[in-house]
Structure 1
Amino acid sequence: MGGQLLSLLLLLSLGRLVTTDDNEDPAFSRCDYNNEQTVSTCLQPMLDYANRLQEDTGMQFPLHGGSIFNKLCEIYHQFQECVEEVHCTSISIDAVSASYGYMCGPGMPLFERHAACFAQVERDTTYMSCKEAATKAMTDAQKKYKNAFGDPYLKAMCTAMDGYLRCSHPTITTTCGNEAWGLVSTVTRDSLRVTMPNCDMGNALF
């Protein structure tokens, strides 16, 4: 039930993809160490599920269908409840909300409408090639830059995402239609605005 473009790899790398937050809400101060530890604990079930999903299916760019979508949204809502008492600015909270807030909130009926089609796309050989190429590019970037998650790393990740979007766009629109691609675009744009704000995906999303 629902498709979302943003890779679980981005979610797994939340703390490393963003080093600054230029859009910090002035009404809240940046979270201190103790609050970030609370957020990290709340985030762990989502990271654990993402890891299991990658190990079981190899999907780093899932157009989440069926039970996967249900489980992700269930864990997302649990995360929201877990961080209710965190009243400070946390990039991790912002990134998770940007990635899953629409998909598991107001956009849920549309994602459910296209669930079966997104699951069909996951089995398409052309789409699988797009996913595998982008997964390899991201894995190579992680190995190359290790813990140096600066501009070169972010540029490599952005390039991989751009290639994935351009490659998968025809398959998704042909199989599922323009409305489905619009959902992918919305979630991707919202997610990258927080996780990689300097990554311009404008041309790849249209």
Structure 2
Amino acid sequence: MTTPALDRYLGAVTAPFPPDTARRIRRELEEHALAHADALREAGHPDPEGAALTALGSVGQVQHALMQTHFTRLEEEELHSNRAYQKADSRGLGGLVLDALVGLSLPFVSLLVGWGFSWALYGVYVAGVVVLGTLEWAIPRRWPARSARVVMALLRAFRSLFVMLSLYAIWLSTDSSFWAAVVGVAVGAGTVHLGSLRPIWRYLPKALRGAR
């Protein structure tokens, strides 16, 4: 049975975290503390509950350790205020099929409109789309949900920029006079993406550690 002291401790430790995270942390710490107390009681310890609580560590120490592996409530609120994070849902098979159809149609579109076409750059485009699409499919299935959304938001921004610049390069590479426009588009699009995703970049190291 949870003691009042343990109950207050668990409430203080889990205070900075979202409700679902707080419940999970509370359950894990409580189970650990109660099991430790039972073992101490069987060994004849005079204050098994107090010793088990002390063994957990101070509230500040435990919170600091948990904040390295879990997103806090304030961090989650900041992330949810970003539209890219809100829309970073898992891509289904339909999205990958659509990418494949678009990629296969590019040579035919180029032939129909009479634009220049670089098969070498087209190969880079196809390889990049396959790799990025595979990552977008796999990350939400292998990473904790919050970390996955952080990585996905940034990955999708990079994917959009990659696709746009690749298409420019594929069709305009035969005319060097268009490269200034390509560079201008890259700088402009990159600035917009970096500006809109600034709050998310800060959490990328935490997400790559698989924080929950």
TM-score normalised per structure 2: 0.30
Q: Pick 1 or 2: higher relative contact order, CA cutoff 8 A, min separation 6.
A: 1
The TM-score with structure 1 as length reference comes to: 0.31
- Structure 1 or 2: more helix by fraction: 2
